[in-house]
């Protein structure tokens, strides 16, 4: 019966049907649009990431000269057991011959080897001992180190300190030594104004000063020096006197203070030339040649004649070096291993410190076994001495075909990541409509990639490599680029690499053009990001519209339900009246 619709379940059914109908009419179209924008937003995010990766390698390929990854060179040795070579992209292709006759080594000084536990006969009381170590600077000049070793009262037992303890204290003093410049202790004022040069390992800083109290002048100098890296300064105050202390905190650096335009450097007594921490020149070690003896060694941190130890001298009546037999001065005493006490001295003759080799028939020497000044952009590593029966090694520098080919393959891979991503989503199929179908940004990008793949580079002669196809790289409309002829590509890299580079990085080159045309699409201000911002705005607006529509539907559904409920009440009353008349029909018929 029709009044079944006005039952509670009937009313619920009617109201639900109304809501579904209204939602299909008002909300479903909006939700479809929202889903489209969300899918497009996601697709743009993926595409943006792929474009960024492609643009990164394109930027690399646009670089010129030695910065170009396509200019990579490789060095090959015919016998890497004796000598090897590596090459930068700046290296010049060619071949050289070499024979290794002697390897460079670090200068080495050994002390005497007294009994470890025996009391040292020279250091008999607590106190500080000073000595000076000088070494070559690698350029024919020298560095100076001032070392202080303190023997504390606690180092002595029954008034004696063992030989081993003395060596350990000297070792520690050398290995922790820094270059320190300490001024005179002064009070009062200077009348001088001017500047002096602080040379820190070749980097010169001008330190300015004006006439003032020594205390204020030192404060100004401290502030200026503490702005530098590798050096620090402090003012030490003792009553009315002040001292300036400058410490080179980086042991690999030296300090020179000179070129004073006034008189302050002389007044402070801080003039110094190539002062360097001993820890930056040598490494001290103690060892036990036998179970009962101790020995101290000093080894130059750098190999070669020009970095040798020049002198070892106790200073100002001190005797730290004397206590182990190393107060050698500038005399190059030869170390002798004796049955009794060894004769302290140098283990190697100066002629044994440099590497010696024959390069292209020339007899040469270097301070190191790593040689960087013979082949431009090439580093030669000497590894072992050749015997007369060993064949002369050849060193060859050539274009690095493997590396360059891998870089081009990387470009192809990233190109195809973008191309196939757009291509596969720019058409319709049985599974649905591609998200990029009809999208202007995607269409433009696809057009850019297509034109680069097919075209020739203007400005490059047709007799040279002016297209990808001349590199043995083919283009497929579905899958993108691929190396179709490896032999052709490898031959081009090996024999005409300048043309390969120009194909990518010339004014109209592939990488130059692509990078220029793709860059506007990526980044925070790129076309894709701006489009995604627009998508987000549309999605927000659609969400608002759907919420508003749902609110109206719910309101109308409530109103409709109330109408049906009133009708339900009215129907109930009618049915009750009908029942009443039917029950009392005989009464009304009398």
Using the predicted structure, report yes or no on whether residue 590 has a pLDDT greater than 60.
Answer: no
Give the mean pLDDT of 419-427: 90
Find the radius of gyration of the CA atoms of the chain: 44
Query: Which residue, among 447, 475, 133, has the nearest Cα to 281 in the 3D structure?
Result: 133
515-521 long-range contacts (CB < 8 A, ≥24 apart) are 515/55, 515/58, 515/59, 515/61, 515/62, 517/448, 518/51, 518/54, 518/55, 518/58, 518/445, 518/448, 519/55, 521/48, 521/51, 521/441, 521/445
User: Model confidence over 125-166: pLDDT tens digits?
Assistant: 999 999 999 999 999 999 999 999 999 999 999 999 999 999
Structure tokens at 312: 């070892």
Flag the least confident range among 314-328, 376-390, 488-502, 528-542: 528-542
Of 192, 222, 186, the closest CA to residue 207 belongs to 222
Tell me the pLDDT tens digit for each residue of 358-395: 999 999 999 999 999 999 999 999 999 999 999 999 99
**Which residue has tokens 């890296």?**
229
The two structure tokens encoding residue 337: 């291993």
Q: 60-64, 81-85, 276-280: which range is least confident on average?
A: 60-64
The answer to whether residue 3 scores a pLDDT higher than 70 is no
Helices (H), 332-425: 401-424
The pTM is what? 0.77
Longest dimension (CA), the chain: 157
> pLDDT tier at 4 (50, 70, 90 boundaries)?
low
Choice among 42-51, 73-82, 488-497, 577-586 with the minimum mean pLDDT: 577-586
Domains detected in the chain: 73-104+354-399 (no CATH), 106-177+279-350 (2.60.40), 179-276 (3.30.70)
The pLDDT, as a whole number, for residue 1 is 42
Is the model more confident about 29 or about 119? 119
Handedness of CA 165, 170, 171, 172 (dihedral sign): positive
The arithmetic mean of pLDDT across residues 325-353, rounded, is: 97
On the question of pLDDT at 70 being above 70, the answer is yes
| DSSP E strands, 19-167 | 73-77, 83-87, 94-102, 106-110, 127-136, 142-151
> And the tokens for 60?
């690399």
CA distance 523 to 510: 21
Tokens coding 268? 């402070």
pLDDT tens digits for range 468-513: 999 999 999 999 999 999 999 999 999 999 999 999 999 999 999 9
Euclidean distance between CA atoms 407 and 452, whole angstroms? 18
d(CA 375, CA 396): 10
DSSP-derived secondary structure letter, 473: E
Q: Can you tell me which residue has the tokens 């291509």?
A: 423
Asked if 505 contacts 512 with a C-beta cutoff of 8 angstroms, the reply is yes
Tokens of 524: 């925070």
3-state helix, strand, coil in the chain (%, to 5): 40, 30, 30
The SS3 call for residue 319 is: coil
Q: What is the mean pLDDT of residues 521-536?
A: 88
Taking the C-alpha atoms of residue 55 and residue 171, their distance in angstroms, rounded to an integer, is 55
DSSP run (H or E) holding 257: strand 254-258
Residue reference for tokens 């690095």: 400
């Amino acid at each position: 019966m029709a009044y079944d619709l006005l039952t509670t379940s009937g009313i619920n059914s009617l109201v639900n049907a109304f809501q579904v109908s209204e939602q299909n009419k008002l909300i479903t179209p909006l939700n479809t649009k929202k889903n489209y924008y969300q899918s497009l937003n996601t697709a743009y995010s993926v595409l943006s990431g792929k474009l960024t990766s492609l643009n990164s390698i394109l930027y690399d390929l646009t670089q010129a000269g030695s910065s170009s990854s396509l200019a990579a060179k490789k060095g090959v040795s015919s016998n890497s057991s004796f000598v090897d070579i590596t090459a930068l992209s700046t290296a010049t292709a060619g071949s050289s011959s070499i024979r290794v006759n002697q390897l460079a080594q670090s200068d080495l000084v050994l002390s005497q080897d007294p009994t470890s536990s025996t009391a040292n006969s020279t250091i008999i009381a607590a106190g500080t001992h000073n000595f000076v170590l000088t070494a070559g600077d690698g350029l024919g000049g020298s560095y100076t180190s001032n070392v202080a070793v303190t023997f504390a009262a606690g180092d002595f037992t029954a008034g004696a300190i063992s030989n081993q303890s003395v060596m350990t204290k000297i070792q520690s003093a050398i290995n922790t030594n820094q270059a320190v410049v300490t001024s005179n202790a002064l009070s009062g004022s200077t009348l001088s104004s001017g500047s002096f040069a602080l040379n820190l390992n070749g980097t010169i800083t001008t330190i300015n000063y004006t006439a003032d109290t020594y205390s204020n002048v030192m404060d100004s100098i401290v502030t200026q020096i503490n702005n530098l890296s590798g050096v620090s300064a402090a003012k030490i105050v003792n009553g009315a006197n002040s001292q300036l202390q400058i410490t080179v905190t980086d042991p690999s650096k030296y300090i020179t203070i000179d070129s004073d335009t006034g008189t302050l450097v002389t007044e402070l007594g801080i003039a110094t030339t190539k002062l360097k921490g001993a820890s930056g020149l040598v490494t001290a070690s103690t060892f036990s040649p036998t179970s009962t003896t101790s020995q101290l060694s000093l080894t130059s941190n750098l190999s070669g004649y020009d970095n040798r130890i020049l002198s070892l001298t106790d200073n100002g009546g001190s005797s730290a070096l004397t206590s182990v037999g190393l107060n050698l001065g500038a005399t190059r005493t030869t170390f002798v291993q004796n049955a009794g006490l060894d004769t302290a001295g140098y283990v190697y003759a100066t002629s044994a410190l440099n590497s010696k080799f024959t390069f292209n028939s020339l007899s040469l020497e270097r301070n190191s076994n790593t040689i960087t000044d013979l082949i431009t952009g090439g580093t030669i590593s000497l590894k072992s001495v050749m015997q007369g029966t060993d064949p002369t090694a050849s060193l060859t520098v050539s274009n690095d075909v493997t590396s360059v080919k891998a870089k081009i393959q990387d470009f192809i891979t990233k190109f195809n990541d973008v191309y196939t991503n757009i291509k596969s989503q720019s058409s319709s199929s049985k599974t649905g409509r591609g998200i990029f179908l009809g999208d202007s940004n995607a269409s433009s990008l696809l057009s850019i990639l297509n034109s680069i793949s097919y075209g020739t580079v203007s400005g490059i002669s047709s007799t040279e490599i002016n297209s990808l196809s001349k590199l043995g790289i083919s283009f497929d409309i579905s899958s993108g680029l691929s190396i179709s002829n490896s032999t052709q590509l490898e031959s081009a890299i090996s024999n005409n690499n300048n043309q390969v580079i120009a194909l990518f990085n010339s004014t109209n080159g592939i990488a130059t053009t692509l990078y220029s045309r793709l860059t506007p699409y990526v980044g925070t201000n790129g076309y894709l990001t701006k489009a995604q911002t627009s998508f987000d705005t549309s999605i927000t607006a659609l969400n608002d519209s759907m919420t508003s529509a749902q609110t109206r539907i719910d309101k109308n559904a409530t109103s409709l339900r109330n109408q049906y409920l009133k009708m339900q009440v009215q129907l109930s009353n009618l049915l009750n009246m009908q029942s009443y008349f039917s029950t009392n029909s005989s009464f009304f018929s009398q």
